[in-house]
Structure 1
Amino acid sequence: MANKSAPPSSLPKSGAVSRGYNFASTWEQNAPLSEQQQAAIGSLFHVVAERPFPVNLAQEHVPGQDNGLSVATKDHSFGESDAIEAVLVNTNQFYNWFTDLELAMKSETEEKYRHYVNTLMGRIQTCDDILRQVDGTLDLFNELQLQHHAVATKTKTLHDACDRLVIEKQRLIEFAEAVQSKLKYFDELENIAASFYSPNMNVGNGNFFHLLKRLDECILYVEGNPQYAESSVYLLKFRQLQSRALGMIRSHVLSVLKSASSQVQAAIRSSGGSKTSVSEGVEASLIYVRFKAAASELKPVLEEIESRSSKKEYVQILEECHKLYCEQRLSLVKGIVQQRISEFSKKETLPSLTRSGCAYLMQVCQLEHQLFDHFFPSSSEDISSLAPLIDPLSTFLYDILRPKLIHETNVDLLCELVDILKVEVLGEQLSRRSESLAGLRPTLERILADVHERLTFRARTHIRDEIANYIPSDEDLNYPSKLEQSAGTKLETTSADENPDVYKTWYPPLEKTVSCLSKLYQCLEQAVFTGLAQEAVEVCSESIQKASKLIAKRSTPMDGQLFLIKHLLILREQIAPFDIEFSVTHKELDFSHLLEHLRRILRGQASLFDWSRSTSLARTLSPRVLESQIDAKKELEKSLKATCEEFIMAVTKLVVDPMLSFVAKVTAVKVALSSGNQNQNVDSLMAKPLKDQAFATPDKVAELVHKVNAAIQQELPPVMAKMKLYLQNPSTRTILFKPVKTNIVEAHIQVQSLLKAEYTPEEQSIINMVSMPDLQAQLDSLL
């Protein structure tokens, strides 16, 4: 038991434990366990953590020994020779022994782990050493990486700085170039000035226009950049140089043109002519061909100017060149043109002068346009460029024609002039060569306007003197004899083209009206012609009506009516082709209210200075505008209709007046009878039957019927013959006679109705009325 009480450290260590530990360590080193195996070992460890009491150590009762316990144990796991034997007498010994055993076992177990821990600690130490080495290496690497980063950063900074420097260098280079490119415009001032002020510089120099173009570019640049310092000063100097250059061009152009004019004048003198007297054969060769050859050196200069015509300075110098050219050309040709036109005016009539003068001017204008196009090809389309030359030349013709036009009184000749100018010159020749002759159009239109004005005045005078104030002669009013004389030799028609003598049977104012309107229709503007036509038709209608009244007094009223119908029909027919309105609005000032206003003011009923009232001075003195519209064509129709109706009634009364009177009396009697019955105050005579009335006896009725039949047979044929004499158109006579026939038949019908109602058949047979078919046939035979 003494052994059992010894400390655990005094117990002999088991070799099996050492061998088992070494074996396990070697095993672990040579055959490391996987994670699954280690998990299985862990599970076994937990299972055997609390082991049951060994069977061989269970308590046994030893016979003969009640006061102690004898235990024999043998640890087979320690080996065959290493058994621990002990005699345990009581429980205390057992516990002591068990404690020692546990300590021994724990010591052996801890030894294994302690060795493992020591191994691990060594390895940890090794790892720590390695880690320290690695940390050192990493520190070195980090330091190296920091150094590399610093070097890279410095390198990038250097590259960026280099790039910036390169960009800045390029920018500075571009800026320097830009400054230089801008400064070169200012630097050119001295170079250009030195060149232009050089004594050898002139327009003919080949470098002149190159310098002028460079000068234009400098001016354009300086104008577009007024923000630059001293730009206004430089612009002024550039402008001065440009003015000097343009002045040189103007002087050069004038010099060449004068030289060419001098050469042409010298050639004219050498040919034996004068400035105003050149034969037509040498005119073109000298004035145009020689001038063109002499001034050919100007063409390149003028083309350069025209190519720069988009700038206002060159527009001005080009206009000056046009003016200089026209002045020199005018000095050459004006005398010749004036002489030619003067010769025409001395030899020819006004129409011939107009034709010849216009033809000659068109020839001159065309040649001048061709010559102008040679020098100014880009400006020839503008007709105003040649106006300083063409206008004075065409004015020569205008100045000669105008006095003759003012004194011309012949309307036919004026109409001929309108036709020449409007149709031949402006309509045909000028339209065919409109581009080269466009410069003549204003003057020709001015001449035409003067002719129109003169023609209008003469037409109004003609209408007033020859139509409105016409005094007819006895021959003019000799109707129907005038028609009877003409009917024996000719058949009158309403068309003057078919029969030129048709006007002989017309009343002269009608012939003058139709003739005047026919001539003026194509010569005057529509608005002017409309006014003249309205006036002419109106006064012509009035003149015919006056003549109709005179003829009615001289011959018979029927002759006056037929005369009026005849001439109004002709007038209506003749004005029908004119596509115009014959209505004119007249405006007149009416002061009729002025007297009443003044009376009220004098009586004190109104104030003269009351501007707010209608009776104020302004309103009192303001006239009223009265408008009235007169339609000559409608008035003509109205007069014609009234005359026809008058004629129809006159013929009707001439034939059936007895019947009309009879029917009127019968109607009066019936009205009286009807009125008497209502008033019970009727005369006894009125109560008798119609056939018992004194005026309506069968004998009286038979007498009036006989008179009507006699009138139809005796009076109506002369009327129809007179109608045929005045109205040659059968359809016109039929239209005019149809209402007469209707009235005659209607009168017979009314009488027949009364006879059937009031008279017996025997009385009707005594009266012997003509039947309606016989009456119709008798009237139709008259046509």
Structure 2
Amino acid sequence: MAAMNVPPQPKASVPVPKSGAVSKGYNFASNWEQNAPLTEQQQAAIVALSHAVAERPFPPNLKSQEHVAGGDNGLPISMKDDNVEDSSAIETVLVNTNQFYKWFTGLEAAMKSETEEKYQHYVSSLTEQIQTCDGILNQVDETLELFNDLQSQHQAVAIKTKTLHDACDRLLMEKRRLIEFAESLHSKLNYFDELENVATSFYSPSMNVGNENFLPLLKRLDECISYVESNPQYAECNVYLVKFRQLQSRALSMIRAHVLSVLKSASSQVQAAIRSSAGGKAAISEAVEASVIYVRFKAAANELKPILEEIEIRRPRKEYVQILAECHKLYCEQRLSLVKGIVQQRISEFSKKEELPSLTRSGCAYLMQVCLLEHQLFSYFFPSSSEDISSLAPLTDPLCTFLYDTLRPKLIHETNLDVLCELVDILKVEVLGEQLSRRGESLAGLRPTIDRILADVHERLTFRARTHIRDEIANYLPLDEDLDYPSKLEQSAEQKTESTSNDQKSDVSHTWYPPLEKTISCLSKLYQSLEPTVFTGLAQEAVEFCSISIQKASKLVSKRSSTMDGQLFLIKHLLILREQIAPFDIEFSATYKELDFSHMLEQVRRILRGQTNLFDWSRSTSLARTLSPRILESQIDAKKELEKSLKVTCEEFIMSVTKLVVDPMLSFVTKVTAVKVALSSGVQDQKKESSIAKPLKDQAFATPEKVAELIDKVNTAVQNELPKVMLKMKLYLQNPSTRAILFRPIKTNIVEAHVQVQSLLKSEYSKEDIESIMEKFSIQDLQTQLDKLL
């Protein structure tokens, strides 16, 4: 068998043991391939390298086979490894197949051993590397575990650090709160700690109101008192409050003493200046008085202004309200001691020289001047208190009382209504309406006294007005000349004619009945002087009594002159009274209440007869109800009563004039009406029946001759009597429209009487009788004649 080189058979791949390192390495390679891909050039180089190593070269320790000569039954094989140092060669002679196979097996084993050795070496290397990697990974795991432990520890430390920081922040906040609490506590304790400091300062011998530290200490003391009062929950706050108030009371007493001292000093200086200015005279001039009493007092009291202003600023507190009121009182007392003598002297001088109206005007003007100056001076001392008029009342009231005490005795004895009304006008219009309203607050202190004086004047005026109404109107006793009508009117007409020719005006009121003139005059004076309610009552009385007095006088005039004169007298004066009271915008009504005991007599009789029990309080006839009077109310409207009296009088006058003129016609119509009524009732008396059954023209009173006679008589009265009536109406009633109103119903009655007679003639008489009767009669001519009378 020829020797042949058998290529070495690849040894079965020994599986690489799998481990964590391999897996991690493979994963690392895969990640590496993905994260760091090769370029095309790099991939080409790898391909070329793979081709170069694709064929495995023959091992260098094997040489070519050499044929050994020795016969056909042997195959010499010589192998020599040049790489072996000892240059030993393997020479083998293959004699048979067994030897070959044996040799091949050995060779194969050798080759296999050689190949495995290489791979084993590679495996060992890889195993070592894997173990190394596993160790590294174990170290990494341990490192990671250490790192995780470290991270956990770091987190624990971080948590502890954060907790520490939070605790530190809480401690800082707590510290800040404690500091703030300490500061707040210290600020609150400062108010209590001030007690000793303030007490030491106030009890110091050098401390007085003029000291520069007095007002700041007083302010601090007020703050402490306010704080303690607003925090009663603090321990011992009541004790501290009492001590603080004691200090405050001491400070306010020092202020009061200081104010009194300064005011007394200023008053002494002013009094000394007054004495020196008077120079032994009883009085000084008003200019010197103002200069000394006001200017010098103001200059002397400048040192009080700072402390008084501070007191006014603290006025909302009751302690300072009290001390301010005391300062006001002290000021008013000192001022009053200076000015009361001068004011009293001035008013006494006015009282000796002037009458009541001028005294009132002068006294009020002087007091207004004094009050104005005093208010200005008071405003200088107490700027914030000058708005309150009551603060100056202890000064102004006594000064105003001097005027009131002077005026009141004179008012009580004053009986003249004109003077009293003038006083009302002075006080109400000039003083209250003009002076006090214009100057406002500066003279407000004078208003109560003026109102008091005005109330006294109203009371006196009301009393005198009632007396005047009673004596001069209700109880007026007329004189002969007061009732001399119509002569009094005729004389007045002659005087009016003479005064008209001399371009002089005549006073028509002298022809009025005196109570009427007194009533109108009294009401005109009282209307603007009294309150509406009071004036209404007086006006109702005056109008009522005046109307009654005029009616009484009318009866006397009727007896003295004629009934028509009395009627026209009453109409004239009632019309004048109604016209004169019309401008007064009041209700001339009054409600009177009186007690009625008329029911008591019957109740007493029933008790005496035993019909009722005196002590039975449960029944309506008890003693209490029996002895309880009834209250009756009655309302009298003087104006309506006046209208009623005027209407009745006018109707009586109209009827009297109508009868004066057409009385024959009225009698004729009445008889005719009686005859017709008798005929219609069927009278049974034969005598009467025979006479009544006759035609009207055959009646004795209704013959054509009798009718013509009465018509002539009426026409004669129209021509003779009616003009006299109209002249008398013109004498009493000056207004033509009034006469026309009064004459219109008279005219209507006269014409109506003629119309009735004419109607009877047409129904009862023949045409020839009517023509003979009415030969001189015409309704149209009658109306024309009557119209001419106006």
- TM-score relative to the length of structure 1: 0.83
Deviation digits for residues 321-360 of structure 1 (CA, Å, limit 9, x no counterpart): 1110000000000000000000110111111111111111
1:608 is paired with a residue whose SS is: coil
Structure 1 residues 185 and 690: alpha-carbon distance in aligned structure 2, compared to 1, 3 A threshold: same
Quote the Cα distance in structure 1 between the aligned partners of 2:125 and 2:714: 179
Residues 1:782 and 2:776 are matched in the alignment = no
2:507 is paired with a residue whose SS is: helix
Quote the Cα distance in structure 2 between the aligned partners of 1:216 and 1:472: 83
Residues 1:322 and 2:344 are matched in the alignment = no
* 1:38 aligned residue: none
Residues 1:299 and 2:299 are matched in the alignment = no
Please tell me the residue identity of whatever aligns with 1:781. K
* 1:454 aligned residue: 460
Residues 1:558 and 2:551 are matched in the alignment = no
Quote the Cα distance in structure 1 between the aligned partners of 2:335 and 2:291: 15
* 1:517 aligned residue: 523
After alignment, is 358-367 or 604-613 more displaced?
604-613
Shift of 1:622: 1.9
Quote the Cα distance in structure 1 between the aligned partners of 2:186 and 2:282: 63
After alignment, is 738-747 or 433-442 more displaced?
433-442
Please tell me the residue identity of whatever aligns with 2:716. A
Quote the Cα distance in structure 1 between the aligned partners of 2:491 and 2:683: 63
Structure 1 residues 567 and 763: alpha-carbon distance in aligned structure 2, compared to 1, 3 A threshold: same
Alignment of 1:635-650 (within 5 A): 635-650=641-656
* 2:263 aligned residue: 257
* 2:362 aligned residue: 356
Residues 1:378 and 2:373 are matched in the alignment = no
Quote the Cα distance in structure 2 between the aligned partners of 1:234 and 1:500: 92
Q: Which of residues 141, 152, 158 is equivalent to 1:146?
A: 152
- Alpha carbons 1:341, 1:357 under 8 Å: kept: yes
Residues 1:671 and 2:677 are matched in the alignment = yes
Please tell me the residue identity of whatever aligns with 1:382. D
Shift of 1:21: 9.1
Please tell me the residue identity of whatever aligns with 2:308. L
- Alpha carbons 1:362, 1:440 under 8 Å: kept: yes
Structure 1 residues 125 and 473: alpha-carbon distance in aligned structure 2, compared to 1, 3 A threshold: same
Residues 1:399 and 2:408 are matched in the alignment = no
- TM-score relative to the length of structure 2: 0.82
Q: Which of residues 436, 447, 450 is equivalent to 2:442?
A: 436
Deviation digits for residues 613-668 of structure 1 (CA, Å, limit 9, x no counterpart): 22222222222221111110000000000000000000000000010111111111
1:476 is paired with a residue whose SS is: helix
- Alpha carbons 2:665, 2:754 under 8 Å: kept: yes
Shift of 1:277: 2.7
Shift of 1:17: 10
Quote the Cα distance in structure 2 between the aligned partners of 1:288 and 1:136: 111
Shift of 1:134: 5.0
Quote the Cα distance in structure 2 between the aligned partners of 1:275 and 1:203: 40
* 2:743 aligned residue: 737
Quote the Cα distance in structure 1 between the aligned partners of 2:553 and 2:180: 105
Residues 1:285 and 2:298 are matched in the alignment = no
Structure 1 residues 341 and 481: alpha-carbon distance in aligned structure 2, compared to 1, 3 A threshold: same
Q: Which of residues 745, 762, 770 is equivalent to 2:777?
A: 770
How many pairs are equivalent?
682
Structure 1 residues 326 and 17: alpha-carbon distance in aligned structure 2, compared to 1, 3 A threshold: same
Structure 1 residues 155 and 653: alpha-carbon distance in aligned structure 2, compared to 1, 3 A threshold: same
* 1:702 aligned residue: 708
Quote the Cα distance in structure 2 between the aligned partners of 1:16 and 1:759: 197
Residues 1:603 and 2:619 are matched in the alignment = no
Residues 1:310 and 2:316 are matched in the alignment = yes
Structure 1 residues 431 and 275: alpha-carbon distance in aligned structure 2, compared to 1, 3 A threshold: farther
- Alpha carbons 1:391, 1:440 under 8 Å: kept: yes
Please tell me the residue identity of whatever aligns with 2:526. L
Deviation digits for residues 226-248 of structure 1 (CA, Å, limit 9, x no counterpart): 11111101100100000110111
Deviation digits for residues 687-730 of structure 1 (CA, Å, limit 9, x no counterpart): 22111111111011011111101111111111111101100111
- Alpha carbons 1:606, 1:615 under 8 Å: kept: yes
Please tell me the residue identity of whatever aligns with 2:637. D
Structure 1 residues 714 and 134: alpha-carbon distance in aligned structure 2, compared to 1, 3 A threshold: same
Shift of 1:743: 0.1
Residues 1:421 and 2:427 are matched in the alignment = yes
- Alpha carbons 1:268, 1:274 under 8 Å: kept: no
Structure 1 residues 679 and 119: alpha-carbon distance in aligned structure 2, compared to 1, 3 A threshold: farther
Please tell me the residue identity of whatever aligns with 1:774. D
* 1:108 aligned residue: none
Shift of 1:487: 0.9
Quote the Cα distance in structure 2 between the aligned partners of 1:282 and 1:677: 112
Alignment of 1:493-512 (within 5 A): 501-512=507-518
- Alpha carbons 2:683, 2:689 under 8 Å: kept: no
Quote the Cα distance in structure 2 between the aligned partners of 1:224 and 1:250: 27
Please tell me the residue identity of whatever aligns with 2:488. K
Please tell me the residue identity of whatever aligns with 2:297. F
Shift of 1:175: 1.3
Quote the Cα distance in structure 1 between the aligned partners of 2:508 and 2:495: 12
Shift of 1:606: 2.5
* 1:632 aligned residue: 638
Quote the Cα distance in structure 2 between the aligned partners of 1:500 and 1:381: 57
Please tell me the residue identity of whatever aligns with 1:244. R
- Alpha carbons 1:257, 1:295 under 8 Å: kept: yes
- Alpha carbons 1:276, 1:336 under 8 Å: kept: no
Shift of 1:22: 8.8
Alignment of 1:330-369 (within 5 A): 330-369=336-375
- Alpha carbons 2:347, 2:363 under 8 Å: kept: yes
Alignment of 1:746-761 (within 5 A): 746-761=752-767
Structure 1: stretches of 5+ with no match in the other structure: 1-14, 35-117
Quote the Cα distance in structure 2 between the aligned partners of 1:680 and 1:633: 58
Deviation digits for residues 262-314 of structure 1 (CA, Å, limit 9, x no counterpart): 00111112223579733323101111111111111111111111111111111
After alignment, is 599-608 or 749-758 more displaced?
599-608
Please tell me the residue identity of whatever aligns with 1:668. A
1:584 is paired with a residue whose SS is: strand
Structure 1 residues 22 and 335: alpha-carbon distance in aligned structure 2, compared to 1, 3 A threshold: closer
Residues 1:661 and 2:667 are matched in the alignment = yes
Quote the Cα distance in structure 1 between the aligned partners of 2:570 and 2:126: 160
Shift of 1:680: 11
Q: Which of residues 455, 474, 479 is equivalent to 1:468?
A: 474
Give me the CA root mean square deviation. Answer: 3.0
Quote the Cα distance in structure 1 between the aligned partners of 2:340 and 2:411: 23
1:630 is paired with a residue whose SS is: strand
Shift of 1:145: 2.1
Structure 2: stretches of 5+ with no match in the other structure: 1-7, 19-25, 34-123
* 1:44 aligned residue: none
Structure 1 residues 21 and 178: alpha-carbon distance in aligned structure 2, compared to 1, 3 A threshold: closer
* 2:65 aligned residue: none
Shift of 1:141: 2.4
Quote the Cα distance in structure 1 between the aligned partners of 2:746 and 2:531: 45
Shift of 1:500: 5.9
After alignment, is 529-538 or 150-159 more displaced?
150-159
Structure 1 residues 384 and 433: alpha-carbon distance in aligned structure 2, compared to 1, 3 A threshold: same
Quote the Cα distance in structure 2 between the aligned partners of 1:599 and 1:22: 160
Residues 1:526 and 2:532 are matched in the alignment = yes
* 1:488 aligned residue: 494
